[in-house]
Amino acid sequence: MRLTAAVRQQLLDQNDGFELQTSNVQKNLTEYRTYRISGGQLYIRSSGKTSWADSRFDNEYAATPEQTHRFLYEYQGRLNTEGL
């Protein structure tokens, strides 16, 4: 499926409430990400820590168009794509 801007927006609209959690554990980094679709927008919450003692982080932000495209492309098998 070609993810044009209109198709991306339709996917976001018809998957309102979708949530996905991922984790990334490396030698000096542990990161957990929660992707949430709400109100026709993709939101990303990133939390975790690095090897430094005071390096915990917890950020939430609206995804950029590029991040949204990559997310929809990678996880389109888990999304409701009916009617596209």
Question: Structural domains in the chain?
Answer: 5-76 (2.20.25)
Q: What is the pLDDT of residues 27-80, one digit of tens each?
A: 999 999 999 999 999 999 999 998 887 889 999 999 999 999 999 999 999 999
Label residue 83 by pLDDT band (50, 70, 90): confident
pLDDT score for 73: 96
End-to-end CA distance of the chain: 8
